[in-house]
Structures are given as structure tokens and as C-alpha cells.
Amino acid sequence: MLILLYSAALTLVIAGMALRAAVSRGWRQNYREGLEERLGRVRPELAAVAAGKRVIWLHAVSVGEVLAASWLVKELREALGEGWEIAVSTTTHTGQALAQERFGAERVFYMPIDFGFSMRAYLKALRPEAVVLIESEVWPRMMHECRKRGIPMVVVNARVSDRSFQRSVKMRWLWSRVLRSATLWLAQSEEDARRLVEMGAPAQAVKVGGNLKYDVRATKESRIAKLIQEAAAGRPIVVAGSTVHGDPRNEDSYVMGAWQGRLHKELKAMLVLAPRHPGRFAEVYAKAAEFSAVKATEMAARETNDGLAAVRNENKPVEIVVLDTIGDLAAVYSVADVAFVGGSLIPKGGHNPLEPAQFGVPVIIGPSFENFRGIVEKMQQASAISILDAKANAAEKDGAHLNGEEEFLPALQNALESEFYRLLTDKQAATTMGEHGRSVFEEQQGATKRAVDAIAGMVKR
């Protein structure tokens, strides 16, 4: 009965999305691609890849999960050996593009909508030995169909945000039925494991596996990163990664405000802006155009055998680069002198500070980091991260009393400018923070091996 009610509610949600898509050009573009796959059509090339093989179905929602899955897929293939195939589904367009690049287009597909008919179509075509979900995705109908067929489900890198936990505990009677459907939960931290059990997951099915993102070692070899470093021509590089939309202003606006004073005029620092969502690339570039700005894709397209003369005008060097590519941010962090990790100035829960930390780059974040609380706390204990506290900084500076977002966010911008300047001018402090961050990254590795051992042990019985 609960599954039927869930399916009915999902139908209403999909109908609402379809109506919005009908009147919104952006939504039409975003959801038209892969619609047949989302409704249960299995592409012939995917069916051919799975034919005669023992299959693991791995679901990675978007870019972040695909990056986390990259090393897991590689290690899992080696552990399972011949006769196995790993099929990868994603939800977003950007995740799909990166997954096809990483794993091969023939074995990558869009996650079907969580209806019985669409899920059954893929379960019938793939006949998976196990289904692996990454992070916090829970699909009640999929879990129901897998349980009926005796297909084990493993949730790796599982985390529970503050907001999700508060909502789920209030509806434990419902969520416990869903969470019991998974065979194994590999939580990122002890706190995530405790929350899963409190939400209703069986204690014996919950283990601490660690964070897969500790194991993601981004290569420094990136054409885009090299072009950015050459365009900087020895000037300091400030990278603002995964910046997000806010109201009334976006994080990019505050970062640019923090940069355009002493960093720009005195230190001649280059700013790299990497918006979280591709739909904002053009918007951010338009804001940056008042300076000497260039898109990363333009830099790559205009590169010549004579070097970067076409990109770097010697009379007016590039001041801002808008990173409008997918999958290059981690490598671009490697050429940074200091990095700001977005989703944290405004209350979005933050993004992964380990991406720049792995290269020994000093990291700054805002006060919102709920989605990566465990990581941030470890880095904070090791003096490996700078967390902006606009209220405290402002009060210490001039006794200001801040009320509301209108005063708080400009104060955060000032705090960000001060911290950028400090880390660019105090080389010893920057180096020490960066090395501490690299140490945290290296000490916490091993989650991939634990996940591989658990999955391989389960399907090889």
C-alpha cells in the first residue's frame, strides 16, 4: 500500500514537472534528453554490453558522485575480474556527460524514473547481481523491486544531512520501511551511521566505510589547468570553486567583490570562477566581462602553436577566467595559490574542501558546511582550513552588530577579502595550512577498498 501511495505521489510530481517543462524552455532542454531512458527504454548498446555478463548496477547522481565513483569502478573491475560488467546510471546531464567520458558511453544511462514499469525494464535487461547507490539517494520503488528479486543493495558513501535527519526522524515509521530494504549501508562517518540507525536502518546493516572522496586523487595533468597557469604568468591564482546561486546575489558576486580590491589592484591576482551549475556559466561570464575575462573553453579553442599570445594580451593580461567545463575543477585547484570552496557563503551546505586540500592548497570556506561537517571538523582540528565567521570578524574589527542577511553577507565578503589577502601575502601560513590539509586527505584514505571488499564479498558468495 505504501508503495502504491508513493507511486501515486510520484505521478503527481512528474505531472507538475511536465507542466513546468511545457512552459519553460530551460526545463524542456534539461529533461528532453534521456526522457525515453528515464521512462524505461533500454538502449540496445547497453543491453549488448550486459548480455552474457554478471552486472553491477552503480548509480551516481551527478558530477560529484561520478568523480567519487571513478576510483571505485576501477578497483571493483579489478577485484571482480573477467565476466563482469559495471553499468552506471546518472540523474543529471552533466553527470551523464562525465560518466560517459570516464566509463564509456555504451555502459552509461539515465536513471529511470522510480516507477515500477521503468525500474523493472532495467532490472530485466541488466539482471544485476547487486545495485550500488552513492551517497544519499534513496529510491523506494527500486529498493522494493530489488528486494522482491533478492538483489542485494549497497549504499556507499552514505551521509545524512542535518535537514534530512530532522525530517526523517519525524517520519521514522515510514522511513524505516525504506531503509530496511538496503542490504548494507557504508556510512561516511560515525555520526552518519548513528543517524541512519536512528532513522530506522537495521544496526547490523550499517557500518562506517569512510568517505570515497578522500580517495579521489585528481590528476594535475589538465590542459585547462596548464592554460590558466600560463595565462597567469607568475601572478597569484585565486580559485573559487562550486559557487552557487543565492538571493539577492550569487556567491560569484561576493567573491568578485572580495577580489577586486587589494587582490586585484595590489597583488595583481588572477581570479578563476567555477560556477557549480553549467546553466550559470553565461551569467557569471557576463558579470566578469567588465574586467579582462575569458572562458576556459575559449582559452582552449584559441590556443595556438605560438603559445598563449591569442589569449594573454601582454598589454592587458587575463584577470578573470570562468571555468565553463565539466570535470576540470579538481585539476585547476592544483595550480591555485589559495582556494575558496563555494556553497558555503550562503546556506547551501557547502561542497568538498578536500578537492583543493589534496594538492596542499590552503582552503577557505564560509559558515555553511553541513553537508561536509565530518570532513571540515577533521580539517579544523588539524588547522587545515579557514572558516569565515563574518559576525565575529566584524565585531572584533569595529564592534559592528549585524542583523539579517543584508548586513551579514557583505561582512562575509570583507572577511573573505581579508583571508585571501593574508594567505597570499603570508607564504609561511599558507604553506603550513596547505600541508596540514594534504595530511588530512592522505590520513583518511581507504574507503574505496572497504567498499570494494564489501561489494565483491557479497556478489562472489
Span 260-317, pLDDT tens digits: 999 999 999 999 999 999 999 999 999 999 999 999 999 988 765 444 544 544 567 9
Stretch (H or E) spanning 339 = strand 338-341
Stretch (H or E) spanning 401 = none
Q: For 213, which DSSP code?
A: G
What values do phi and psi take at 157, rounded to 5?
A: 60, 30
pLDDT band at 11 (very low <50, low <70, confident <90, very high): low
% pLDDT > 90, the chain? 67
- pLDDT value of residue 399: 43
- Reference 421, options 215, 313, 259; nearest CA is 259
| pTM score over 0.85 | no
CA distance 377 to 189: 12
Over residues 322-351, the mean pLDDT reads: 94
Could you tell me the sign of the dihedral formed by the alpha carbons of 194, 181, 455, 136, in that order?
negative
CA distance 44 to 149: 23
- Reference 249, options 64, 408, 416; nearest CA is 408
Over residues 307-335, the mean pLDDT reads: 80
Residue pair 243/252 in contact by the 8 Å Cβ criterion: yes
Q: Across the strands, what pairs with 57?
A: 87, 131
Kindly state the cell numbers that stand for 58.
552503480
What values do phi and psi take at 365, rounded to 5?
A: -135, 165
3-state secondary structure of 124: helix
Residue pair 84/62 in contact by the 8 Å Cβ criterion: no
Over residues 397-413, the mean pLDDT reads: 63
- pLDDT value of residue 25: 52
- pLDDT value of residue 307: 46
- pLDDT value of residue 245: 92
Q: 223-443 domain in CATH 3.40.50.2000?
A: yes
Over residues 370-398, the mean pLDDT reads: 79
Give the CATH number of domain 2-6+29-215+448-459: 3.40.50.11720
Q: Residue 229 class from Cβ within 10 Å (0-12 exposed, 13-18 middle, 19+ buried)?
A: middle
Q: What is the pLDDT of residues 100-121, one digit of tens each?
A: 999 999 999 999 999 999 999 9
pLDDT band at 218 (very low <50, low <70, confident <90, very high): low
- Reference 238, options 300, 313, 311, 321; nearest CA is 321
CA distance 186 to 89: 20
Stretch (H or E) spanning 81 = none
3-state secondary structure of 193: helix
More confident: 195 or 373: 195
Length of the chain: 461
Where on the phi/psi map is residue 169: left (φ > 0), alpha (ψ -120 to 50), or beta? alpha
Kindly state the cell numbers that stand for 392.
565575529
Domain boundaries, the chain: 2-6+29-215+448-459, 223-443
CA angle 249–253–254, rounded 5-degree value: 95
Q: For 87, which DSSP code?
A: E
- pLDDT value of residue 28: 46
Over residues 349-354, the mean pLDDT reads: 92
Q: What is the pLDDT of residues 139-164, one digit of tens each?
A: 889 999 999 999 999 999 999 988 88
What values do phi and psi take at 332, rounded to 5?
A: -65, -35
Q: What is the identity of the amino acid at 130?
A: A
pLDDT band at 8 (very low <50, low <70, confident <90, very high): low
- pLDDT value of residue 12: 62
Kindly state the cell numbers that stand for 200.
530506522
Q: What is the pLDDT of residues 199-217, one digit of tens each?
A: 999 999 999 999 898 887 7
- Reference 229, options 154, 144, 90, 328; nearest CA is 328
pLDDT band at 410 (very low <50, low <70, confident <90, very high): confident
Helix axes 63-80, 93-103, angle to 10 degrees: 30
Residue pair 74/105 in contact by the 8 Å Cβ criterion: no
CA distance 96 to 196: 29
pLDDT band at 403 (very low <50, low <70, confident <90, very high): low
% pLDDT > 70, the chain? 85
Kindly state the cell numbers that stand for 226.
596548464
Same fold, 2-6+29-215+448-459 and 223-443: yes
